[in-house]
């Protein structure tokens, strides 16, 4: 604990000022952020830094699109699929968006049942969320394959501005990487929940105090962030 000094006899001691006192306070326990645990606080800090990265990517994309003198491809044509002889614009993107937004609902339900300590429903809902995330990544891989087959590269684009390919692969690839890592961690944590690691405080990665399911909520924060970022990518990249 931090060193204390008495400012007035009979009154509550005041904490030592300066960096030494701050370091002592933060190292004294794992809840230095009032009622927020270290895990949750660090996830919020990570998400804040990630917000800056995605913002820079989207701002760079908008700058490139507005400054280029070569016509920008029409997303309704580039991301269209031919199904049953009909040319349907953005159908794959609409399905991908529906799948990812639906996964936010299952993740929220998993967090709810986690705090009720219903490990079976929590694990099942986390696995459903992971399955939806994997489906999203699979459809994104199909989208990449289709565009690469049609001649889109980071340095060239058969439909117009060459910056289109670089922007597309950079932004969707970075987001897809986030979804992929999220799926991996969802499966890992769901396995621990299913085995009852949080009920018996079994030692290992991501296992904390007995009966403590906060890691599920922390995973939920990450997943909701990934879904929210996709909403912005969908709006700026596919609808603009």
Residue 95 predicted with pLDDT over 70: yes
Q: What are phi and psi of 15, to 5 degrees?
A: -70, 150
Tell me which residue range forms the domain holding 19: 1-30
Q: Are residues 97 and 111 in the same domain?
A: yes
| Residue entry with tokens 């944590």 | 189
Q: What is the mean pLDDT of the chain?
A: 83
Q: Are residues 3 and 114 in the same domain?
A: no
Is the pTM here over 0.75, yes or no?
yes
Cα end-to-end distance, the chain, whole Å: 55
Six-digit token string for 124 = 């099942």
Q: Are residues 138 and 172 in the same domain?
A: yes
Distance of CA 217 to the CA centre of its chain: 13
Q: Are residues 5 and 94 in the same domain?
A: no
Q: What are the residues whose beta carbons fall under 8 Å from the beta carbon of 203, sequence distance 6 or more?
A: none
Residue 35 predicted with pLDDT over 80: no
Q: Are residues 150 and 95 in the same domain?
A: yes
Eight-state DSSP code of residue 81: E
Q: Are residues 16 and 52 in the same domain?
A: no
Distances (CA, A) of 204 to 30, 198, 201, 208: 18, 10, 9, 9
Q: What are the residues whose beta carbons fall under 8 Å from the beta carbon of 152, sequence distance 6 or more?
A: 158, 164, 165, 168
Tens digit of pLDDT for each residue in 47-94? 999 999 999 999 999 998 888 888 888 888 888 888 877 888 889 999
d(CA 234, CA 240): 9
Stronger pLDDT, 117 or 85, i.e. the higher one: 117
Q: Is 153 helix (H, G, I), strand (E, B) or coil?
A: strand
Q: Are residues 26 and 41 in the same domain?
A: no
SS3 helix, strand, coil % of the chain, rounded to 5?
Answer: 70, 5, 25
pLDDT on residue 22: 61
d(CA 174, CA 180): 10
The helix-helix angle for 214-233 and 163-195 (nearest 10°) equals 160
Q: Are residues 122 and 224 in the same domain?
A: yes
CATH code at position 124:
1.20.120.80
Lowest-confidence region among 11-25, 110-124, 134-148: 11-25
């Amino acid at each position: 604990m931090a060193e204390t000094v008495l400012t007035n006899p009979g009154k509550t001691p005041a904490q030592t000022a300066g960096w030494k006192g701050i370091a002592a306070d933060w190292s004294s326990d794992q809840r230095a952020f009032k009622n927020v645990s270290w895990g949750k606080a660090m996830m919020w800090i990570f998400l804040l830094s990630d917000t800056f990265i995605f913002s820079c990517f989207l701002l760079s994309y908008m700058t490139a699109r507005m400054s280029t003198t070569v016509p920008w491809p029409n997303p309704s044509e580039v991301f269209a699929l031919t199904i049953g002889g009909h040319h349907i614009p953005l159908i794959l993107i609409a399905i991908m968006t529906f799948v990812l937004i639906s996964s936010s609902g299952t993740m929220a339900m998993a967090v709810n049942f986690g705090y009720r300590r219903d490990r079976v429903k929590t694990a099942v809902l986390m696995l459903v969320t992971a399955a939806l995330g994997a489906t999203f990544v699979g459809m994104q891989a199909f989208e990449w394959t289709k565009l690469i087959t049609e001649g889109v590269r980071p340095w060239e684009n058969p439909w117009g501005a060459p910056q289109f390919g670089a922007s597309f692969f950079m932004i969707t690839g970075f987001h897809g990487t986030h979804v992929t890592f999220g799926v991996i961690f969802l499966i890992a944590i769901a396995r621990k929940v299913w085995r009852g690691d949080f009920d018996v405080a079994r030692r290992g990665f991501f296992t904390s105090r007995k009966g403590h399911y906060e890691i599920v909520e922390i995973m939920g924060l990450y997943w909701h962030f990934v879904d929210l970022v996709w909403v912005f990518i969908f709006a700026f990249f596919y609808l603009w």
